[in-house]
Structure 1
């Protein structure tokens, strides 16, 4: 099982507090809540690695605003 899915499963079963689970998995509470929220909205695909690449290309030199 993927480590992110293990984290979500532990959260959902009420195994421990969010703070202690985040410490155990080495993530911030903000990230923990983000992963749990994505799982609740999108299911297992919500916790998969996402691209960090910008959604729009850089502004080209010489382009007019």
Structure 2
């Protein structure tokens, strides 16, 4: 299957774009690897920790720490 049909099918079946899913997965992997939030933000290319926390919360509904601890 080529890239476009895969992306369309993924969106249809999950309700989220493949790009968004990959971005979320990468953030979860980095935070879950044990890096602190500041290092995670820098690793993902954010200019500040607060920008990363804001984006993480917008995407996943919780702060990185709350998401990883299940609070």
Q: Which has the larger radius of gyration?
A: 1
TM-score, normalization by structure 1: 0.43
TM-score, normalization by structure 2: 0.41
Higher fraction of helix: 2
